[in-house]
Structure 1
Amino acid sequence: LSSALYLCRPDVGASAHLVIARDGELIQLVPFNVEAWHAGRSYYRGRAEFNHFSIGIELDNLGKLQRKGERFFAECGAEVMPSEVYADYANDKLTYWHKYTDAQVETLRQVCRLLISAYPIYHILHHSDITSRKLDPGPALPEITLESLLLGRSE
C-alpha cells in the first residue's frame, strides 16, 4: 500500500499500472491502455523507452537494506525485522534485501498469467534488466518466467 500511496503523490513523477501490496492486494493506478511512467530511460534487446509499450507492475517492498549490527534498515530509514530479510551472496559480496511475501508472489503470478492470456507478451522483465539506474526487484524475488507461467507451474 505504501508504494501505491507514493506513486499517487503529485511530486513523484512516476507511476505504474499495478501495485501489489504486501498482503497480496492488487491496486490498479493506470489503465492498461494508458502509458505509465515506470521504466524511465530503458533499453533491452534493441528496444528502448519501455514506458511506451509495457505494463508496469510494482511490488510494495523496501528493496536493498543496510545492516547495522543485528538490525536492518531501508534507504528511507524504516527498520526491517530479521525475519523479513533475504540474504544474498553473489560476486563475493553479502547483501541484504527486503523479502517479498508469499501473497505478493502468488498475486504476481496470477496477474502475469492473466496478462499473457490477454496481450501479446514476449518477455517478463525487471527494472534492473532494462536500466542500470534501478536495482529492483533484486534477488529476493523468485524467478518468474514466461515459460513457467504458460506451463502453469511455480518455480
Structure 2
Amino acid sequence: MDGWMNAVRRIESSNVDDRPEGEEISLVVVHSISLPPSQFGSDDITRLFTNTLDPDAHPYFSKVSTLRVSAHFLIRRDGELIQFVSCKRRAWHAGASSWKGRERCNDFSIGIEVEGCDELPFENVQYIRLGKLIESLRACYPIDAVVGHSDISPGRKTDPGPCFDWQHPALHGTSLVYPC
C-alpha cells in the first residue's frame, strides 16, 4: 500500500516530506479553501499546491504565491476528488497546531481541503464525497478523530467555517468507495 487512493485524480505536490519514523495516522483535518477568496472553479488551488500560482493573476495571489503548502486531498465544488500527497507522507496543511496535547498535527494527520469559504454553504456532493473518503481512510488507518482546522489552530484559523455542516447525513455511516 503506497498511500495513494485508487480511482481519484492524482496531481503530485512537491510540498511534502516524510512523517516521523513510526508515526501512525490518527487524525483527519478538514479545511476549506478558495482562490481567489470566495471564488470557485479555477485551477488556482492546484497551482498553489504545485508552486505555480502566478502572483500577478489576482491581487490576493501576491500574498500567498510564495507559500509552500499542500494537502493530501481536495474536494472540488462539483465533488471531484484530487489527491496531491500520498497518505504515507506528510503534507504541509496544518501549520502551527495541536490536538489533545500533541503538537505538529501534520506529523499524524491527513489533510482534506474542501473547496469553500466561511461565507457560503458547501455543496451536497462535497459532503457525500467527504463522507466516503473519511470512511475509506478509517478502513486503512487508525483514525481517532475528524476535526476542523479551527479545532487544531484555534484563534489562528476558522476553516472549514460556520457554513460547514458537521451534522450532514453524508458524514455519518457511509460505505467504502476508494480502496487503498
Task: Report the TM-score when normalising by structure 1.
Answer: 0.69
Query: Which whole-Å deviations, capped at 9, do the CAs of 1:120-145 have from their partners, x for residues lacking one?
Result: 00000100000021110012111159
Q: Which residue identity lines up with residue 136 of structure 2 in the other structure?
A: L
Runs (4+) of structure 1 exceeding 4 A deviation are: none
SS of 1:138 mapped into structure 2: coil
- Tell me the equivalent position of 1:4: 46
> CA–CA distance in 1 between the matches of 2:51 and 2:77?
20
Percent of residue pairs bearing the same amino acid type:
37
> Quick one: higher RCO (CA 8 Å, sep 6+), 1 or 2?
2
Residue 100 of structure 1 is matched in structure 2 by 122
Partners of 2:122 and 2:77 lie apart in 1 by 7
Aligned CA RMSD, in angstroms, stands at: 2.0
Q: Counterparts in 2 of 1:20-31, with a 5 A limit?
A: 20-31=75-86
Matches of residues 5-154 of structure 1 in structure 2 within 5 Å? 5-9=47-51, 11-61=66-116, 63-64=117-118, 97-131=119-153, 132-143=155-166, 149=172, 151-152=173-174
Structure 2: which 5+ runs fail to align? 1-42, 53-65, 176-180
In the TM superposition, residue 152 of structure 1 has moved relative to its aligned partner by 4.4
C-alpha contact 1:2 1:60 (8 A) present in aligned 2 = no
C-alpha distance in 1 between matches for 2:44 and 2:167: 24
CA distance in 1, matches of 2:174, 2:124: 17
State the SS of the aligned residue for 1:55: strand
CA distance in 1, matches of 2:92, 2:167: 23
In our comparison, the structure showing a higher alpha carbon Rg is: 1
Gaps of 5+ in 1: 65-96
Tell me which residue corresponds to 1:92: none
Partner-residue secondary structure (3-state), 1:99: coil
Partner of 2:30: none
Alpha-carbon deviations, 1:11-52, whole Å to 9, x = none? Answer: 321100000011000000001111000000101211110011
Conserved? CA contact 1:23–1:103, under 8 Å: yes
**How far 1:118 moved relative to its partner?**
1.0
Higher helix share: 1
Aligned residue pair count: 117
* Contact 2:131/2:174, CA 8 A, preserved across alignment: no
> AA paired with 2:160?
P
